[in-house]
Amino acid sequence: MRYENVCLEAISHSLPEEIVASAEIESRLRPLYERLRLPEGRLELMTGIAARRFWPPGDPPGRMSAVSAEKAIVASGIDRREIGALIHGSVCRDCLEPATACGVHRRLGLPDRCAVYDVSNACLGLLNGVVQAADMIELGRIRAGLVVGTENGRELVEATIAHLNADRSLDRRDIKTAFASLTIGAGSAAILLCHRDLSRTGNRLLGGTMRTATEHCRLCQGGDAPAANAPLLMQTDSETLMREGVAVAGAAFADFLAEMNWTVEDVNKTFCHQVGRAHRRLLFETLGLDERIDYSTVEYLGNTGSVALPMTASIGIENGHLQSGDRAALLGIGSGINVVMLGVEWRRAPHHAENSIGGTA
C-alpha cells in the first residue's frame, strides 16, 4: 500500500503516575519464589524491564484516551470540525457496548458526521486504525482522522500474581506461560492523520505492508475465562512467540522495503512494539538493522500493548529522535501473529501540548 496524500500530523501520549518496579512485583510473589527457590531479580534480568506504570483502579480507558486525543488535536492545530473519523484501537475499553470511541467522541466534541468505532487486534489495534484512517484520507472520504487507545495492565498483573501464589501445584515449567503477563504496563497514545493540504508539518505517511501467520494464533491467549467473575489471565509461549513473530517480521520487512523502494540503509530511524530486551535484539539481528537507530521505552514502561509503539514514538519525537529528512519505519508485531510496518518521511514535529503525566477529561 502506498499513500500520496496522507500526513502523520501529530502523535501524543499520556502516562500514569503510579510506577511499579519489577522488584516490587517479585516481592509480592515471595510465596511462589520461596516455594520454588527462584532467585530474586529474574524478572528484570530476563526481560530488561525495570518498571511499568498503572492507571488507578477502575479508571476507564476512554477517559485517558480523550486526554491523549485532545493533546494530538491541540498539537496539530487542525480544526476538530475537519476530523472525519475517530478510531479507538486498544484492547482495553470501557465496556462491550457501545464502542469506547463513542464516549471519546463525546468528550472531544467532534462533528456528528464523524465515523466512530473501535478496532481490536491485540498489540496492533492502533496501527490497524492508522491504516484505516489513512485509506479514508487517500480515498477522499475524510480530511483528517484520529486514532487513539489506552491500555492498563493492572488487572492482568494482579490476577497473575494472585494465581501464581495460590496454585501450589505449579512448578518452574508451569509458570513460564504466565511470565509474560508480569511485563504488562499501562499508557495512552493518539495519532492524528490528515490530508497533505491541511498539514503544517509535511510528515508524509508513505505507505507500508501487512503480513500474518495465523497458524500461531494460540501462542498467546487471554481473557477466555469460563466464568464471568473469573480473574483475567493470559497464557503465553514466550520463546516460541518471539521466534515465530520475528520470523514473520523478517518476511514482512522484505515486503516493506520493496513496497517503499528502500534498502536497509535507507531506514534512518525506527519505532517498534516494546516487548523485552531479547525480542528487540533478535528482531534487529533478523532485519539487519542497527539497534542504535531505534528508540526504546520497554525498560521503564514495560509492554503496553497496542499503545506501546505510538507512545514510544511520541516520547522519542519529544526527545529529538527524529530529524528532518529521516525515513522512519514503524515496526508493529502482535500476537495472532500479525505484522504491520509503515514508512514515514519526517520533516518536523508539531508544537506539543503537555505530554507526560495524566490529565483530565
Q: What are phi and psi of 270, to 5 degrees?
A: -140, 155
CA 82 to chain centre: 26
Three-class SS state of 54: strand
According to DSSP, the β-strands at 269-272 and 327-334 are parallel
Q: Name beta bridge partners: 205.
A: 344
End-to-end CA distance of the chain: 36
Q: Which of 4, 34, 97, 215 is catalytic?
A: 97
Kindly report the number of other CB atoms within 10 A of residue 135's CB atom. 16
CA distance 231 to 160: 8
Whether 97 is catalytic is yes
According to DSSP, the β-strands at 144-152 and 83-88 are parallel
**Residue-wise over 140-153: b if at least 16 C-beta within 10 A, else e?**
eebbbbbbbbbbbb
Nearest Cα to Cα of residue 146 among 65, 207, 214: 65
What's the grid cell of residue 161?
500474581
Q: Which of 123, 194, 220, 272 is catalytic?
A: 123
Three-class HEC string of 106-117: HHHCCCCCCEEE
157 Cβ contact list (under 8 Å, min separation 6): 20, 25, 52, 54, 181, 182, 184
Just list the catalytic residues.
Answer: 97, 123
